[in-house]
Structure formats: structure tokens, C-alpha cells
Amino acid sequence: MLSLQEISDRMEIQMLMTAYSTAIDRRAWDQLDDVFTPDAYIDYRAMGGIDGRYPEVKAWLGPAMQGFPHYFHMVSNTAITLEGDRARTCTVCFNPMEVPLPAGGSQVMFLGLWYIDELVRTDRGWRICRRVEEQAFQHNVPAHMKIS
């Protein structure tokens, strides 16, 4: 049987995954300050992005996402391993994105990935201190785009 603390930890971590997706999808970059530790390492290279520390990646996100008029990140199936004030998670993400085409018009590509995270309990709640994307699939990616 789960303890009340474990139930609370699991709920807070699941809510953190939703908070991440909501911040990205609403282009509310400053809300990510409540998701990541200030020194978090983030690796988005598997899906064509960059890797680095949180401030650098946060600054990159806005300009990088401007090229996509519409998108969303649907997260689910978060597997959580709790280890005191630390945790590891693996979360499924389904990410359709509208992509403008060079000749005009647009198309929707579909990306499937996993977020592999390490988290730490802070004075302000759980935060991600390390995130690495792993690619599951990509479908309908325009020829002019490169995704690893």
C-alpha cells in the first residue's frame, strides 16, 4: 500500500509533467522556472533541438518554436521511481506540430518521444534537474526538416 507521502509525491510529479507541457504549448516560457532547477541539464537533440543548461535551453525555446504555428504536447504513462528526495521518471509524449512548407501551405507532422527525467525535491516542490528526450517515432516530417 502506498503511503500518503508517496501518493503526494507521485501526484506532484505527474502535475509537474502537465505543467511542463502547458508552459510549452502556451509559449509561457517563464512558467518553466517552476518545472526545472536553475542548473538543470536538458537534452532535446533526439528530436532536432539542442542540449545545455536550463537558462540556455529556455532562451532557445521561444525562437525555435516560432517556426511552428500550432502544436501540443500530450504527456501520459509516467513511470515514477521514488528514492527519498530524488526520483526518476519516464513519460510518454505525443507531439503533433504544424509545419509551414517552403512552397506555401503547411502540414502536420507527428512526433512520439519519451522524456527521461531525474527530479529532486526542493523547498518549492519537485523540479526536474535532468531531462533527456528519446525518440520513439516520427511521421510526416517535411523533407526540408531534419530530425535526428
How far apart are the C-alpha atoms of 80 and 105, rounded to whole Å? Answer: 41
14-to-52, 83, 87, 95, 106 alpha-carbon distances in Å:
24, 16, 12, 18, 33
What does the pLDDT profile of the chain (148 residues) look like in tens digits? 999 999 999 999 999 999 999 999 999 999 999 999 999 999 999 999 999 999 999 999 999 999 999 999 999 999 999 999 999 999 999 999 999 999 999 999 999 999 999 999 999 999 999 999 999 999 999 998 878 6
Q: Which CATH number fits domain 4-139: 3.30.70.260, 3.30.70.250, 3.10.450.50, 3.40.50.10860?
A: 3.10.450.50
Domains of the chain, residue spans: 4-139
Residue 54 cell numbers, joined: 536550463
Entry pTM: 0.95
Tens-place pLDDT, residues 2-22: 999 999 999 999 999 999 999
How many C-beta atoms surround the C-beta of residue 20 within 10 A? 23
